[in-house]
Structure 1
Amino acid sequence: MAMPPDRLVNGERSMPEVTLGEAYRADVEILWNYHDMCHTIRPTDVAIGLGSHDLGVATLAAELYREGAAPRIVFTGANAPTTIERFPRGEAVHYRDHAIGLGVPGEAILVEPEATNTGQNIEFTRRLLASRGIEVRSATLISRPYQQRRAYSTAKKLWPELEVVCASRPLPLDEYIGSIGDVNRVINMLVGDTQRIMVYPGRGFAIPQDMPPEVEAAYRRLVEAGFTSRLVR
């Protein structure tokens, strides 16, 4: 059963939980479903893999390339505190290596290794493509499942003319948590992304998104339960 971060068991930090307990399941599922944009995958000019701790982003990018849904891939991302140990050479670099291992030719991949947030992912990728003389009218934004809505709202703010399709590995919630190996991390990230949908438009980082009352209520209950490590101030 998930517990709020930094909780100690018998005076020691417990190993990461991997099972979503019933205490938080309903609220987590509400947020999980809200962030899924439910876009239909179709061919676009480029697949943009947004860096994170989730190597599944690179896996899906490779699948879309092999299926002919994207003739080119850009992986974008430096490091965050949550990824530096797993991807010491940078998120985008490790994503590229993973995709090549899955059969994508290196010449089909561009690497943007400097971005440290979603806004920079979009801005720096746009700049990289322009510097190579690559015209892009449409893109598939590949992200963690719960980052889809934020990726979309950020892209439409910073690159409004771009046709955006959002995509993630189509894993059920429990299977996704198992692939990450830490239910608290997933809940905290879900809560953090939900807060960003609420506050980032007012800061000029994203376009507004509708948020049903039940989503906001679920978010607030999880915050009250202690899942606050990914909140912005």
Structure 2
Amino acid sequence: MISAQAWSDAQLLWDFQQMHHTPRPCSVGVGLGSHDLGVADVTVDLYRRGMIPLIVFTGATSRTTREHMPRGEAEHYRERALELGVPDSAVLVEPRARNTGENIRFSRELLAERGVDVASVLLVSKPYEERRAFATARRLWPEVEIVSASTPMPLPEYVDSIGDARLVLDMLVGAQQRLLIYPEQGFMIHQEVPASVTTAYERLRAAGFTSRLAPRPS
């Protein structure tokens, strides 16, 4: 049973970790691989709305996806997009990335190899990883404009769609931890974090939502 305090704290993290950008036309859409096929669905919707002429799906597999996405996250995203009517010519696949930094770096390299001129990127992620993805992209791809996007869904509805409340809260805590420790390691830009968000994060950690925490460097 997840307590009312934990849900309240999770909502604070959920709200903070989204960038609240308004989607607008960009040179390319980059969908970050994960266990959530909703990322592919949102990217396809943006393509259909004329926001992007080209899609890059990026991602290998992880401990969360290796069983139900055995061909790799990016490839499963691509298959979803084709099922939804996106032409194969509009989808590029980057199958090697195993973390957000590699998602950004390898996608950038792939687009450069293909000769695609990129001035702006619609960066599509899970809702609770918008800010992490944005901060990483600003560090690794500083010359382009980054516009964040994700499934427009409130936290309770998102938890229902995933079917595992503890996993979602663990992921929220893991994403928040990375926002706090990765800037000092050079992985992303620094962003101010409100004290209320840090307090909520620390309470969730103390309550045991820790399975997706990154190890601190020794």
1:23 CA displacement: 3.8
* Alignment deviations for residues 145-167 of structure 1 (CA, whole Å, 9 cap, x no partner): 00000000000000101100000
SS of the residue aligned with 1:48?
strand
The residue aligned with 1:132 is 114
The residue aligned with 2:146 is 164
Q: Is the aligned partner of 1:95 residue 2:77?
A: yes
Question: Separation in 2 of the partners of 1:220 and 1:178?
Answer: 24
* Alignment deviations for residues 198-222 of structure 1 (CA, whole Å, 9 cap, x no partner): 0000001000011000000000000
Normalised to the residue count of structure 2, the TM-score between the two structures is 0.97
Percent of matched pairs sharing the same residue: 55
Which of structures 1 and 2 has the bigger CA Rg? Answer: 1
Aligned length: 215
Q: Which residue type is aligned with residue 151 of structure 2? A: R
Question: Separation in 2 of the partners of 1:216 and 1:62?
Answer: 34
What residue ranges of structure 2 are gaps of 5+ in the alignment?
none
Q: Is the aligned partner of 1:182 residue 2:164?
A: yes
The residue aligned with 1:17 is none
* Alignment deviations for residues 103-149 of structure 1 (CA, whole Å, 9 cap, x no partner): 10111000000000000000000000000011101000000000000
Please tell me the root mean square deviation across aligned C-alpha atoms, in Å: 0.7
Question: Separation in 2 of the partners of 1:220 and 1:214?
Answer: 10
Q: Is the aligned partner of 1:55 residue 2:30?
A: no
What residue ranges of structure 1 are gaps of 5+ in the alignment?
3-20
Q: Is the aligned partner of 1:119 residue 2:109?
A: no
Picking from 181, 185, 205, the partner of 2:187 is 205
The residue aligned with 2:19 is 37
1:24 CA displacement: 1.2
* Alignment deviations for residues 34-89 of structure 1 (CA, whole Å, 9 cap, x no partner): 00100011000101000000100000111111111100000000011011112110
Normalised to the residue count of structure 1, the TM-score between the two structures is 0.91
